Structure 1
Amino acid sequence: MKNNKQSLFVTAALGLEPLLVEELLGLGLDEVKQERAGVRCHGSLADAYRICMWSRLASRVLLPLTQFAAADPDQLYAGVQGVDWSEHMDADSTLAIDCATSKSQITHSRYAEQKTKDAIVDQFRVRTGARPSVSLERPDVRLNLYLYQDQASLSLDLSGESLHRRGYRVDGVHAPLKENLAAGMLLRCGWPQISAAGGALVDPLCGSGTLPLEAALMATNTAPGLLRTYYGFLGWKQHQDAIWQEVRQAADEKHQVGIAVLKVPIIGYDADPRAIRAAWDHARQAGMDKLIHFERRRLDEFVPPSGVRSGLLIANPPYGERLGNSDELAPLYNQLGQVMAQQCPGWHAGVITSEQELGRAIGLRADKINVLYNGALKCQLLQFVLNADNHWQSLSEKAQRVARKPLSAGAEMFANRLRKNLKKLGKWAQREGVDCYRLYDADLPEYAVAVDLYGDEVHLQEYRAPSSIDPDKAAERIRDVLAALPRVLDITPDQIHLKVRRQQKGTDQYEKQARRGILKEVHEGNCRFLVNLTDYLDTGLFLDHRMTRRKIQSMAAGKRFLNLFGYTGAATVHALKGGASATTTVDMSRTYLDWARRNIELNGFPGNRQEFVQADCLAWLEQAQTHRAGVFDLIFLDPPSFSNSKSMATTFDVQRDHVELLRHTLRLLADGGQLIFSTNLRTFQMAVEAFDDLSLENITASTLPADFARNPRIHQCWLIRKI
């Protein structure tokens, strides 16, 4: 492909794709098209080399070699052998293969890698009697195999290893930021424009120096790949070294010019002396030690560089994921906000965090918010304009927002119960990594409400009072509840969302009650979900099934997973986190399937690689018995207690219809597969005698989370296997 242009796929972390499009257009690439987790474009070999040398955002540069059907191992083997590998490597070359598979009958990526390797090795052995060997570290040729819906795409990885590895890092201190994510933060915050105008850059929490180093590379127009000694194309037989040397020489010349003219201060501070030592080591390795200043300094000792009137303060403080608890970190974020406001007037600032509450603790109004991913961790890049209109608010000021009116005797009684529950459940939730849980559930007969915490907001459900209760008395008790909640939880009244819970008919619980459309992100262990606290009676996440979902995650490795009556896809997310090889989510509602897709993508999984089926589950099961028999290894079946939706041909009653429902579902279960069946009908009785050919294990007790221990009849759950 020396001068001929052909398709390239340049991968990048989620959230960086729009920036990567701009970068590739700036490098002269054609037909640039944004896709999920990457950008497709057309270019020559020289273009591909320039991407490897100059892209600050890309992870890998893939050159497609072939596409073919691969419904089984034999087809995969034959398709790989259809390539003349002697055009790409020699018999004594080393190779490595990376594979990802989705919605394909070949479900195990390592097996696919092995089969691909066998096809290549066998071709050489037959032709020459010799064979290439496997080398996972820096092979001569690295291949990328992607299996999707039984179609294989096989590409040459020209980068060889991720391009975020610039070549200057010698020691990672305290969960370092990947270099291409740091570059994305700087580009989002406008650092190239700020530095061109003479502005400074300061990172007051610099760790091992990634942000200042990437800022220096940009400000000096230094190619991020200039220090690298290994690329995937260097051992490729079609590599054109003369073209590569031209690219390297041009990059080196620009670097020499850039470092000679850089005048703006670039500074990194950190309180940890080990981090500062590592930062200086990295700066020397990058040849930037004369241009960047690192210094051990606490945040409360921060001062901006003298003689500079504008600049960018940028920081990657700890999130609370690995490095500390978010409650403990709130004062640090608030102190950072104070430094920004008081020490850097007229500057811009950027702070990345995965915790919305920590972002709020900064105490300043963000001018822009961008979503970026640090690995699988969804983060927000908060951008601030530090002017006189952006007033910093201390944590004590925030706490004073809550009115301190005396509580009535009843409200005080309710508040005391809340405090007791919070003391017990708050520590439990912290240990479990859960920020959405049930704090109170009609513990006191007089106060028949359910209080569910979703981060810093409350989903309050009032159980409809019986006709024997005076309506004025019921209204007074709700006023008591609404007065006590802000006092105990240190929130404002607008953070409480009140619903009235009554016995539901049909699909009432899914009907819209408002149209605000505001989604809030919450955490459940290693999963994240979007909930809606205003528009529906339910929020999009059934809290009582937390342990059931965790069980699904523990069972899902390598399994083909089916989520029936899938709702917003929470069980599907857990299955993917557990390593499910393929997932299918079935629900009647397009709204909920779209919500499920967003939940899946929120957790770092490509939604377009999962299957979503909009259908009446009962009708779909009837049809699927013929063409999907034995397809799924793990099934979650959580039907409504009753439904008479207009989209259904008939009514559904879980007590009346569960035998037929389970029989239809079990026909889709593979040999050795497992089915988890659950129902929230409190009076439900399993027809055990109808399933003497099955193993039925009542696992209800093990699926009740601690916050629902007071209400053991919240649901019933069975693990079902074929005998």
Structure 2
Amino acid sequence: MSDRYELVLTCPKSLEGLLAEEAVGLGLAEVREQVAGVRGLGDLETAYRLCLWSRLANRVLLVLGRFPVGSPDELYQGVQTFDWQDHLLPSGSLAVEFNGHGSGIDNSHFGALKVKDAIVDQLRRHSGQRPSVDKLNPDLRIHLRLERGEAVLSLDLSGYSLHQRGYRLQQGVAPLKENLAAAILIRAGWPRIAAAGGALVDPMCGVGTFLVEAGMMAADLAPNLRRERWGFGNWLGHVPALWKKLHAEAEERAAAGLARPPLWIRGYEADPRLIQPARNNIERAGLDGWIRVYQGELATFEPHPDRGQTGLVVCNPPYGERLGDPASLLYLYQHLGERLRGRCEGWEAAVFTGAPELGRRMGIRSHKQYAFWNGALLCKLLLFKVVPEQFVTDRSEPAPGDARMIGGQLVERPPAVRSAPARLSEGGRMFANRLQKNFKSLGKWARREGIECYRLYDADMPEYALAVDLYRDWVHVQEYAPPRSVDPEKAQVRLLDALAAIPQALDIDPARVVIKRRERQAGSRQYGRQDQQGRFMEVGEGGVRLLVNLTDYLDTGLFLDHRPLRLRIQREAAGKRFLNLFCYTATATVHAAKGGARGTTSVDLSKTYLDWARRNLALNGFSEKHRLEQADVMDWLAADRGEYELIFIDPPTFSNSKRMEGVFDVQRDHTRLLDLAMARLARGGVLYFSNNFRKFQLDPLLAQRYALEEISAQTLDPDFVRNPKIHRAWRLQAKQRD
């Protein structure tokens, strides 16, 4: 065999340029980039060195040869032209990885089977033995790539991917692969900063991947020094003496590097469950003397206490997957920018993000950006120089004793210079002005009426299609799904403008802003849990206390637009039997009980909301004489024989829960619903019917059967007069007989 081989190094897409530079430094000659990899020429020592030292490659492939393939038979014959006795014992094991298609080969499994058969058949002819197939730990891993009729046949010297260094046995949610983390650090200039004795901080370190990769670079540790199994271990062409020499040199360099005074490398992580796994990973990498990890929110992370020390702040903020994430992520980025400006002046920063538009909300201009693929997600690496010339916002001295709520904790501001609030865009300022105007007028009304929860803004400006509700000192934001004609990127920018404006306009802690998207809901999603925080808060209305949950469900447990109807029911309930159909969390029932109802019955299909209703009643001291029924309302009404002097019905527009047969459609089914309910109305009783279906048309025949009055305008408080279509309501009674 030749002393010089063609070597192919594979890598994640977007790392090709960096890998080419690294490979040249490790001795690979005539390097050329290709998609998701590089290729070049080198001897066996170079191949071993690449396996041991490459921080960016996935695999090191030693090319045995190239040959044309026009059919499956030609593939089989081409593989048989190589002497496999030079590479594998007949008693050994192999695995074949096949990439590509064409030349009559439709799938990778079929192609791998032809390659395996060619190797096995040749060895069996020579020795009478055939090697076995072992996909997990073979003695030899064969790689064949078929592209445009040419086969490239290689031995995989790495065995399993080189990004698996062996230290990260515990990991968090969607962690970065180690070689991608290394690439980010290289692009961020960490090798240069480390060589100058600089520090490194990751304020959202997770299980410590950035920290370990940075530590290995700084301490001159070969990334795969601790790997025990290699693809070349049982290859007959392996030269153990050469490998031992290179491995010993790497161990000497590691010992020398770890003997130097350690650099200051620190990580902070808000999730306490990740602290010990991070420390375990650091210890497995042999860097527990270099790296420290602390449990703490973003607002607690500190750079090196020596004010003359500078370095790199690097982080990979979490991606949003739950309701409320657009708000929480925006404020996370704003807090990060605020912390950098206030505490890390003179440092460099690198933020790896799947939402680069949020990076523009940090209040610092990035001087460089790089695109990276994180799996199938295109991300950006934003690089910053944390110097005043790059700040987008002004700075001001803190007020004495200034403190604020961040992440649910009261955090004292340090006596250092701090950043002013992020500067709003022109649209953001317009939105903030509208909020402040509404807050000034509606706030007076709410305080006068003793109202703690009300709608402050409801798509007043069409380009900002949001509903903004105040729940005491919390803000609940609902984003209406934009029409298809609106550019999604523009819609996202406007949403972020609005979210940036809300805390400033209302002088409220960003941690108390929750956002959800309002879309038509059906089936199980009507009742489905959206999050798991379980955070309930008490609010007051009309002398009763009610529980709301701003985070876990699409709705909060309290329909604000029905406030006038609930208070009307409270005024009219004294001594009456009250029936609440589609009761939701039974807030109207609590009001009826407060008004002196002699008994109440509340019916809903959802056990979740009936449990909530039970808690609302108990919170106000009501338990007896208040019946809760889990049932399909139409079936329950058809079977019920009770009489009620006061009935309230607020049905959903659609419902097709798995607990009911068929689908409830308020437009189609409201006539039968009202007929069934009116049959249960006692002599002289009143039924209130409301719904929020914008296109709803009441059956005109109902006016012939019942005394019917539309009262929609009477059921709108000042916070909903801007949106008179929020619901429609009617008052029904039996007609008086002549």
Contact 1:418 1:439 in 2 (8 A): no
Secondary structure of 2:244's counterpart equals: helix
Cα displacement string for residues 122-145 of structure 1 (whole angstroms, at most 9, x for unaligned residues): 222222222111111121111111
- Corresponding residue SS for 2:388: coil
Which residue is 2:336 aligned to?
336
| Alignment of structure 1 residues 375-454 onto 2, 5 Å | 375-391=375-391, 393=393, 397-398=423-424, 402-404=428-430, 418=462, 439-440=482-483, 450-454=485-489
* 2:322 is the alignment partner of 1:287: no
Question: What is the Cα deviation at residue 175 of structure 1?
Answer: 1.6
Q: What CA distance in whole angstroms lies between the structure 1 residues aligned with 2:270 and 2:199?
A: 21
Q: Sort the Cα spacing of 1:386 and 1:419 in 2 relative to 1 into closer, same or farther, 3 A.
A: closer
For residue 590 of structure 2, what is the aligned residue in structure 1?
none
Q: 1:17 to 1:120 in 2, by over 3 A?
A: same
The superposition leaves residues 400-433 of structure 1 with CA deviations (integer Å, 9 ceiling, x where unpaired) of 65453999xxxxx99659479777xxxxxxxxxx
- The answer on 1:134 being equivalent to 2:133 is yes
Query: What displacement does 1:147 show?
Result: 1.3
Count residues in correspondence. Answer: 442
1:38 corresponds in structure 2 to 37
* Structure 1 position 193 matched with structure 2 position 228: no
Match of 1:589 in 2: none
Distance 1:136 1:279 in 2: 31
State the 1:322 CA deviation. 8.8
Counterpart of 1:363? Answer: 363
**Divergent runs of 4+, >4 A:** 321-324, 392-396, 413-423, 455-458, 485-492
* Structure 2 counterpart SS, 1:47: helix
Counterpart contact for 2:28–2:40, Cα < 8 Å:
yes
Report matched runs for 1:46-85 at 5 Å: 46-85=45-84
Return 5+ residue gaps in structure 2 as ranges. 394-419, 435-456, 468-478, 502-694, 696-738
SS in 2 for 1:136: coil
Q: Against the structure 1 CA distance between its residues 386 and 232, is the aligned structure 2 distance closer, same or farther, given a 3 Å change threshold?
A: same
Shift of 1:200: 0.4
Go from structure 1 to structure 2 and tell me whether the alpha carbon gap of 1:94 and 1:343 turns closer, same or farther (over 3 Å shift). Answer: same
The CA deviation at 1:14 is 1.8
Cα deviation for residue 331 of structure 1 reads 1.1
Post-superposition offset of 1:392 = 5.2
After superposition, where does 1:85-234 map in structure 2 within 5 Å? Answer: 85-234=84-233
Secondary structure of the 1:367 match is strand
Query: C-alpha distance in 2, partners of 1:489/1:205?
Result: 26
- The CA distance in 1 between the partners of 2:43 and 2:4, in whole Å, is 4
Residue 452 of structure 1 aligns with an amino acid whose one-letter code is D
Residue of structure 2 equivalent to 1:672: none
Match of 1:477 in 2: none
CA distance in 1, matches of 2:497, 2:63: 59
**CA shift at 1:111, angstroms?**
1.2
C-alpha distance after superposition, 1:574-599 (max 9, x if no partner): xxxxxxxxxxxxxxxxxxxxxxxxxx
RMSD: 3.1
Corresponding residue of 2:684: none
SS at match of 1:166: coil
Q: Structure 2 length as normaliser, TM-score?
A: 0.56
Match of 1:398, SS state, is coil
Q: Is the 8 A contact 2:465 2:482 kept in 1?
A: yes
Please tell me the residue identity of whatever aligns with 1:181. L
- Counterparts of 1:9 and 1:168, CA distance in 2: 26
Report the CA distance shift for 1:350/1:488 in structure 2 as closer, same or farther (over 3 A).
Answer: closer
Question: Is the Cα–Cα contact under 8 Å of residues 464 and 498 in structure 2 kept in the other structure?
Answer: no
Q: What is the TM-score with the length of structure 1 in the denominator?
A: 0.57
Contact 1:46–1:243 (CA under 8 A) maintained in structure 2: yes
Change in 2 beyond 3 A, CA 1:455/1:152:
farther
Contact 1:402 1:486 in 2 (8 A): no
The verdict on how the C-alpha distance between 1:392 and 1:416 changes in structure 2, with shifts beyond 3 A counting, is closer
Quick check: 1:317–1:352 contact (8 Å CA) kept in 2?
A: yes
The code of the aligned residue for 1:33 comes to R
Contact residue 216 and residue 292 of structure 1 kept, 8 A = yes
Tell me if the contact between 2:327 and 2:499 (Cα under 8 Å) persists in the aligned partners. no
Q: Aligned partners of 2:65, 2:14: CA distance in 1, in Å?
A: 28
Q: 2:577 is matched with which residue? A: none
Q: 1:133 to 1:212 in 2, by over 3 A?
A: same
Question: Is the CA contact 2:459–2:465 (under 8 Å) kept in the aligned structure 1?
Answer: no
- 1:457–1:491 Cα contact (<8 Å) kept: no
**Which SS does the other structure have where 1:67 is aligned?**
strand
Could you tell me how far 1:166 is from its partner in structure 2?
0.9
Q: Give secondary structure in 1 for the equivalent of 2:360.
A: helix
**8 A contact 2:392–2:423 mirrored in 1:** no
CA distance in 2, matches of 1:279, 1:400: 43
Question: After superposition, what is the alpha-carbon deviation per residue over 1:596-645, rounded to whole angstroms, capped at 9, x for unaligned?
Answer: xxxxxxxxxxxxxxxxxxxxxxxxxxxxxxxxxxxxxxxxxxxxxxxxxx
Separation in structure 1 between the aligned mates of residue 262 and residue 249 of structure 2, nearest angstrom: 22
Instruction: Considering Cα pairs closer than 8 Å and 6+ residues apart, tell me whether 1 or 2 has the greater RCO.
Output: 1
Instruction: Provide closer, same or farther for how the CA distance between residues 241 and 455 of structure 1 changes in structure 2, counting only shifts above 3 A.
Output: farther
Residues 559-574 of structure 1: matches in 2 within 5 Å? none
Which digits, 9 at most, give the CA deviation of each residue in 1:689-708, with x for residues without a partner?
xxxxxxxxxxxxxxxxxxxx
Name the stretch that deviates more: 181-190 or 354-363. 354-363
Once residues 200 and 117 of structure 2 are traced to their aligned partners in structure 1, the CA distance between those partners, rounded to angstroms, is 52
Distance 1:230 1:455, change over 3 A: farther
**Is the alpha carbon distance of 1:312 and 1:104 closer, same or farther for their aligned partners in structure 2, counting shifts above 3 Å?**
farther
Q: Return the index of the structure with the highest Cα Rg.
A: 2
For residues 303 and 236 of structure 1, the distance between their equivalents in structure 2, rounded to whole angstroms, comes to 50
Paired amino acid for 1:373: W
Unaligned runs of 5+ in 1: 408-412, 424-434, 442-449, 459-484, 493-709, 711-723
